[in-house]
Structure 1
Amino acid sequence: MQQREIQVHEIPPIGQSAFLSFQHLFAMFGSTVLVPNLLGIDPGIVLLMNGIGTLFYLLLCKGKIPAYLGSSFAFISPAAIVIAGNPEANLSSALGGFIVVGVIFCLIALLIKLVGTGWIDVVFPPAAMGAIVAVIGLELFPVAAGMAGWIPKDGAADWSMDPKIVAVSVLTLLITVLCNVLLRGFMKIIPVLIGIVSGYIISYLFGIVKFDTVAEAGIVAVPAITTPTFNWSAIAIIAPAALVVIVEHIGHLLVTGNIVGKDLSKDPGLHRSLLGNGISTVVSGFVGSTPNTTYGENMGVLALTKVYSVFVIGGAAVIAIVMSFFGKFSALIANIPEPVMGGVSLLLFGVIAASGLRVLVDGRVDYGKPTNLLLTTLVLVAGLSTVKLSLGPIVLSGMSLATVTGIVFSLLFKGIEKLGWSNEKE
């Protein structure tokens, strides 16, 4: 029997909603706290502002977009450059850059509000959009596989496969898959949560998880607030990365719309989505947190469980806010072993990639037309080739480069067709 979709506006029973919210939080927790750990920022303040920012976002989007905002990876490199040398002093300068990033988001949102979203159908035809969605999942496979212990992480030369690590990731993946296929009722819609908890237990039995950090964490931990300063040099380094995240944001919104079966770029509107992300980032920067973005892990959970309720997402945000003040609980979740998250992430990223193929099928893309075939090919090549295009401080790669490639060639092929130069009708 096919699983019933729980739509965006529906409210699952309170008991079920709590488990569903924890599932979303578990799926993104590791990634969202990795960013502050790399930059030397208090993870507690980031977790707090991710929760508050998500609630802002849901409110500004009129409760129509089920998206969770987590820490953006796009700012790790430029922020690290600013912070390097004197972390305590330069963190404030980085925060000033983060605030400017949020303002840029808001300005782009205003521009889109003025010009409308009709251009989206032109620059993102199904042949391009399906490939871009697929790239979002496919480009993350090596990251998940590295976490799962299947391949070297970051090209490490001295790597060797650890049977215990691989066993944990494979068992976690297998349990998550079987839960989704075999279980019925409520248990069927929390396979990720079951998989992570099971993987955690298996990791403990295999002796690859320690609880030292949990023991050392305080029961109550007040997030550390840092005030920003505005330094033109820091802003010049950090602000350009906003354009990369805006491109990614558009792609993520299209993916989410495809998953829930609604054109979210028109209702509630791309401008509202960008504005929500922008305001969240501005507020976060003023108290010492990182810029936010929508998360692939959470999109994967939506696609896998068919639970699209914004109340579940809001519940995850509230839990994150509460957890930011409870050090031991946060440490317990942050302590989830990498192979566990790697096994789960392989499935979630795979579901996103499959959603891209669904766009191509549902859009009835005719690959007998050379332009459709070439458009999909070029997007996949740009997104999966690992090539990086540097335009000054802006670096395009993976999904962002695939999106820009899709836009450029969609417009090029559309222009050729309008001018009557195409040979497709011959």
Structure 2
Amino acid sequence: MAKRIIQVEEKVPFKLMLPLSIQHMFAMFGASVLVPFLFGINPAIVLLMNGIGTLLFILITKGKAPAYLGSSFAFIAPANIVIAQFGYEYALGGFVVVGFCGCLLAALIKKFGTKWIDVVLPPAAMGPVVALIGLELSSSAASTAGLLDEVVDPNNVIVFGVTLGVAIIGSVCFKKFLSVIPILIAVICGYVAAVLCGMIDFTPVMEASFFALPNFTFPKFDINAILMILPVILVIASEHIGHQIVTGEVVGRDLIKDPGLHRSLFADNFSTMLSGFIGSVPTTTYGENIGVMAITGVYSVQVIAGAAILSIISSFIGPLAALIQTIPNPVIGGISFLLYGMIGTSGLRILVDKRVDYGKSVNLILTSVVFVTGLSGVVVQVGTTSLTGMVLACITAMLMSLLFYLFDKFNLLNKEEE
């Protein structure tokens, strides 16, 4: 029997609301708090702005695009350089400017439309680009779990195996109520395994103040710092388009048209700009939460909003934030292992659903080059921004698709293509 789908606008039964929301929060948590740790700031402000940014995203997109906004990894390299040379306040200024430029880009898309996407990213190119969103993160999931360490800790393997095993079995075997929360159950089982293996230290939870305000920091602006961070806009625009398309494939709707790419892109960048103004890190739609929706069949924005509210609450309650932070990396890695794979599969699904004809050399070449570019490890440096993986593959796909489009218009393709 087919899995019960809860669509984007549907209300979720009260008994399901809390566990489903917690499930989404756990899915994004590990990656989202890593960025503030790398920047040397308290993650509480990030949890606060992730929640606020997600609620704003839902509001701006009229509740039609289910997405959770977490910390963006695209800014890490240039922001660390700015922090080292100027200080964190000047990195915040760069975040604000990039977010503002992203909002301007959204305005241009509103004026000129999105038909250009069909030209520069046809299905033969879009499929592998979307697949790469998940596939290039696969090593990150294994690294987070500690499986790529020079000496692998057996406890990491046990906790990773329990988490992933329960997630897999739960996704295909659980029924009724349990069938929509396999990720949450897997996290709990993995956490229990970690406790039994002696990997959890509850001291920070016991010592945390019950109520604590997040640390607010305000931006400073310097043209050199801004120019170091500004090229990231290429990365986040490509990433956003890919995420909206893969989410559309999961929920069975064209989100580029409704609510519109201009709305979702504006919401994403407005959240980044707002975050920069009060001391948080840039935000982006999260692949982990797309994976949760793909596995559970629950697409309701009500659940996403619930997760956002929990994130906001946890930023003020010290013991709760501390408890969440005790979730060990092998648990996060085990969940990510499955979620990233689901995103990769969604890219392949585009190729199948669109019935891409690989008897045509244009389609074969596009898919081949995009996959190899994304997985090869090639890095192109643009100022302080590194273009690699999915982003470089997306730019390559767009350039090649535009070139093939022009070849077709000027009748330069060979007879086989005609």
Same fold (TM over 0.5): yes
How many Å separate the matches in 2 of 1:267 and 1:286?
A: 29
**Alignment size in residue pairs:** 417
1:247 counterpart = 2:277: no
* Among 129, 142, 145, the residue aligned to 2:142: 145
CA distance in 1: counterparts of 2:167 and 2:3, whole angstroms: 16
Equivalences for residues 10-409 of structure 1 within 5 A:
10-84=10-84, 90-152=87-149, 159-409=150-400
* CA shift digits 1:131-163 (9 cap, x unpaired): 1111111100101111223323xxxxxx11222
Q: Counterpart of 1:95 in structure 2: which amino acid? A: L
Deviation of 1:166 (Å) = 1.0
Shift of 1:233: 1.8
Q: Quote the Cα distance in structure 2 between the aligned partners of 1:248 and 1:361.
A: 22
Q: Deviations over 1:25-71 (max 9, x none)?
A: 00001111111111012211111011111111110001000001111
How far apart are 1:122 and its partner, in Å? 1.4
**SS across alignment from 2:316:** coil
> What is the match of residue 155 of structure 1?
none
C-alpha displacement at 1:214, in angstroms? 2.1
Runs of 4+ aligned structure 1 residues displaced above 3 Å come to none
Cα shift readout 1:375-416 (whole Å, capped 9, x = no counterpart) = 001110111111111122332111111111111111111221
The alignment yields a C-alpha RMSD, in angstroms, of 1.2
User: 1:85, CA displacement in angstroms?
Assistant: 5.8
Could you tell me how far apart the structure 2 residues matched to 1:213 and 1:415 are?
61
Q: Which amino acid aligns with 2:172?
A: V
**Kept in 1: contact 2:94–2:226 (CA 8 A):** yes
Q: What code does the residue aligned with 2:280 have?
A: S
Write the letter of the residue equivalent to 1:283. L
> Residue type matched to 2:93 in 1?
G
User: What secondary structure is seen at the aligned counterpart in 2 of 1:33?
Assistant: helix
Q: In structure 1, what residue type is equivalent to 2:77?
A: S
Matched to 1:40, the amino acid is G
Q: SS where residue 74 of structure 1 aligns?
A: coil
Distance across 2 between alignment mates of 1:65 and 1:13:
20
Q: Distance in 1 between matches of 2:312 and 2:129?
A: 33
Give 3-state SS (helix, strand or coil) of 1:176's partner.
helix
Which structure 2 segments of 5+ residues have no match? Answer: none
User: Gapped runs of 5+ residues in structure 1?
Assistant: 153-158
In the alignment, residue 111 of structure 1 is paired with which amino acid? Answer: L
What one-letter code is carried by the residue in structure 1 that aligns with 2:52? I
User: What is the one-letter code of the residue matched to 2:144?
Assistant: M
